[in-house]
């Protein structure tokens, strides 16, 4: 080195800030992401920053009546756009299919079981869903679950239930409900798999778009974060979820609309099944399409268009009119 040369000063390695909701399940999922990234990049620092979202604060109103598709994401998205956090971890089913300008879905993690779970009150532990007596009260905050279960089990009664998983289970155990319908993946992630009485088959309840997978949302121009997130991307899950999200996007449905899906990946072939149901469960439009996994989004879009022509649009129009009147 010449006497006049300056020593090279390396710039500090950037700390990556991960955004999360404050709920127990959200934190379990976010810390799982943090741990996997820390293992993949031991020289980096990943910090978790928590925020309360609109959906976390309103617990006494049914989700379908709040009328906002970004209930659990908006505050986190603002944090990214404002530079407060670098990416956010979501249950993919909560992430709208249309994201704010400047943000993108940067990664989809390997999917857990996407099925819906039946959780029974102790007095019915010897029964299955179809064995419950007429008028038994089933708790669910999902119009998708509600419509499909009303179709198959019109003799049952349904009541909205909000709050985190522990709150919902406490209401069940206190006798407010005879059973709850929750997500298998959420119960398993919280170490509550023993509460699952039955995983509902797809013939009874098609699951929510993206259910069981985590979606990591980030700034579209953040090449460094996008490179890091590649370590968590699970392409088979991503292909399935891209098809599901394209299906939902084309139908323009959110948490207020009973839309369910199921995807099966067989080698390079992807089969997507979708359902659109009326609120009372009396009218269902259900269909399937198979295509190449590499064309997942096109597959979802085409199935939605075909189902529209089969009567799905009329169902959706009536649901939106009903909800607007309510």
Answer yes or no: are the C-beta atoms of 120 and 178 closer than 8 Å: yes
- Other residues' Cβ atoms within 10 Å of the Cβ of residue 252: 14
How far apart, in Å, do the first and last CA atoms of the chain sit?
77
- 61 contacts 88 by C-beta, under 8 angstroms: no
Q: What is the DSSP letter of 102?
A: T
Cβ-proximal residues to 56 (8 Å cutoff; 6+ apart), any chain: 21, 22, 23, 72
3-class state of residue 146 by DSSP = helix
Q: What is the CA radius of gyration of the chain?
A: 21
Tell me the three state secondary structure of residue 208. Answer: coil
Structure tokens at 52: 């309360």
Distance CA 286, CA 276 (A): 7
Tokens standing for residue 140: 């669910």
Helix (H, G, I), strand (E, B) or coil at 56: helix
| β-sheet bridge partners, residue 272 | 263, 289
Task: Write out the two tokens for 152.
Answer: 């198959």
15: left (phi over 0), alpha (psi -120 to 50) or beta: beta
131 given a catalytic annotation: no
- Catalytic entry in 43, 68, 86, 94: 94
For residue 270, the tally of other CB atoms under 10 A from its CB is: 24
- DSSP secondary structure letter of residue 122: G
The residues, any chain, with a CB within 8 Å of residue 122's CB and separated by 6 or more, are 173
| Active site members | 94
């Amino acid at each position: 080195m010449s006497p006049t040369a300056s020593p090279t000063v390396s710039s500090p390695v950037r700390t990556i800030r991960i955004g999360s909701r404050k709920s127990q399940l959200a934190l379990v999922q976010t810390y799982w992401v943090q741990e996997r990234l820390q293992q993949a990049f031991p020289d980096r620092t990943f910090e978790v920053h928590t925020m309360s979202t609109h959906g976390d604060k309103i617990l006494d109103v049914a989700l379908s009546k709040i009328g906002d598709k970004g209930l659990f994401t908006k505050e986190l998205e603002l944090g990214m756009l404002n530079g407060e956090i670098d990416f956010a971890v979501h249950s993919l089913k909560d992430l709208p299919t249309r994201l704010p300008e400047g943000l993108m879905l940067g990664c989809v993690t390997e999917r857990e079981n996407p099925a819906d779970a039946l959780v029974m009150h102790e007095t019915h532990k010897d029964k299955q869903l179809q064995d419950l007596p007429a008028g038994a009260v089933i708790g669910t905050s999902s119009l998708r679950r509600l419509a499909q279960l009303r179709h198959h089990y019109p003799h049952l009664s349904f009541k909205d239930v909000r709050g985190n998983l522990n709150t919902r289970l406490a209401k069940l155990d206190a006798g407010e409900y005879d059973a709850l319908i929750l997500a298998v993946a959420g119960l398993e992630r919280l170490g509550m798999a023993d509460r699952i009485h039955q995983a509902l088959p797809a013939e009874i309840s098609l699951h929510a778009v993206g259910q069981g997978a985590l979606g990591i949302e980030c700034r579209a121009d953040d090449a460094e974060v996008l490179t890091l997130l590649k370590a968590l991307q699970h392409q088979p899950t991503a292909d399935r979820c891209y098809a599901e999200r394209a299906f939902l996007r084309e139908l323009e449905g959110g948490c207020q609309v009973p839309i369910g899906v199921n995807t099966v990946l067989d080698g390079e072939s992807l089969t997507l099944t979708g359902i659109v149901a009326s609120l009372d469960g009396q009218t269902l439009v259900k269909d399937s399409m198979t295509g190449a996994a590499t064309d997942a989004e096109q597959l979802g879009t085409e199935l939605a268009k075909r189902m529209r022509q089969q009567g799905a649009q009329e169902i959706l129009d009536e649901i939106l009119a009903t909800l607007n009147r309510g």
